[in-house]
Amino acid sequence: MRHIGLLLQLTFVVFAVGCSAEDTRTADQASEASTDEQAGSSSLDSIDAAPRVTSGIAQSTFSCGSVSRCTNPMVPRFGEALCGTVIDDAGRSWVVPAEVNATGPTCVDMYNDCTETGNNAAYESQLSTLVIDENGSEVTGHLFGDNFFELYVNGQYVCRDSVGFVPFNSSAARFRAEYPVTFAVRGIDWGTHLGVGMEYDSYNIGDGGFIAHFSDGTVTGSSWKCQVFYAAPVDDASCVGENRDTSACPVPPSCADEPESCGALHWSVPDDWAMPDFDDSSWPSASIYAAEDVTGVPAYVDYAALFGDAEFIWTKNLDLDNQVLCRVTVEAPAP
């Protein structure tokens, strides 16, 4: 969001989207909805594996289940969160920016000026409780992603950000889960130019970032682990350091002179990355970012008090790391 690009697109077409206000769902229903998200990944890449490298713009694009237009004529900038496919040298296909859950329920919006008019004063009354563990504790979360997140708790899909790219929205979710509770989040810095990780007509290199506060006291911070699975734009993979550290990769890369020739780095997402027993011990600790370094949008700023002492997290590279998975497991809070 620090990099402001040209206006992408204005749209005034009325489009009705059904989301957010749902009845209580069972964990099984939510799990079923996440089947798409699980498909396609493999165990090809260990945590230390070298990235697969692709070059150039995605040749095919398709809907990833996010809103296709805004109904609010006042919203200054809309970008649809499309997905695309790129092929590496070995002929392997990669979905960029990520294989997301395109069909699962969306979280409730606290702020959405795309398909709503902005502040949603009624958001609390629209929350339903996803029962993950019948005897668990009820927890309410407030979440903001730049640009997109999916939330999983104890391995179960809970909900996803309703607006995948821009404008910026913020979200709430409620679930019942038994301790220890594993929170797992897929964060995506979306883009316009799929495959080279850049946004808007000006080919900006945008930044990511995620923050969440949960009513059991769990907040995003340095106790979380975050790992990158898609980084772009890069010239090649030689800049990648230990444990996928892309901090030494130049921003902008040399290829930015011809941005559609830039490269991207991909690592396979393990099928079980959101499960409580997934071993994230080799993932780096989350890097912390000041809110003002991530975003100044009303979707976050107007709700900052709800986030308490939560901190923005991501990997070490806020600019180039575009699909980031983060996790933390917490014990029951003291009574």
Q: Among 131, 163, 184, 188, which residue interacts with Ca ion (rule: CB under 5 A)? A: 163
* Contacts with 325 (C-beta within 8 Å, 6 or more apart), sequence order: 184, 185, 186, 187, 226, 227, 229, 269, 273
**Does residue 95 interact with Ca ion by CB under 5 A?**
no
Shortest Å distance, C-beta 323 to Ca ion? 10
Scanning residues 188 to 247, which ones bind Ca ion (CB under 5 A)?
A: 189, 206
Secondary-structure breakdown of the chain: helix, strand, coil percentages, each rounded to the nearest 5: 10, 30, 55
End-to-end distance of the chain based on CA atoms, in angstroms?
40
Shortest Å distance, C-beta 249 to Ca ion? 11
Closer residue to Ca ion in complex, CB, 113/161: 161
Closer residue to Ca ion in complex, CB, 20/147: 147
Q: Work out the widest C-alpha separation in the chain, in whole angstroms.
A: 58
| Partners of residue 144 on adjacent β-strands | 211
The letter for the amino acid at 241 is G
Q: Which residues of 108-136 are buried (b: 16+ CB within 10 A; e: fewer)?
A: bbbbbbbbbebbbeebeeebbebbbbeeb
Closer residue to Ca ion in complex, CB, 116/189: 189
Closer residue to Ca ion in complex, CB, 147/192: 147
Shortest Å distance, C-beta 138 to Ca ion? 25
Total residues interacting with Ca ion, rule: CB under 5 A: 7
Shortest Å distance, C-beta 168 to Ca ion? 6
Closer residue to Ca ion in complex, CB, 154/162: 162
| Partners of residue 181 on adjacent β-strands | 330
The contact pattern for Ca ion, residues 166-185, with x = CB under 5 A and - = no contact, is ---x----------------
Scanning residues 133 to 162, which ones bind Ca ion (CB under 5 A)?
A: 147, 161
Residues near Ca ion (CB under 5 A):
147, 161, 163, 169, 189, 206, 322
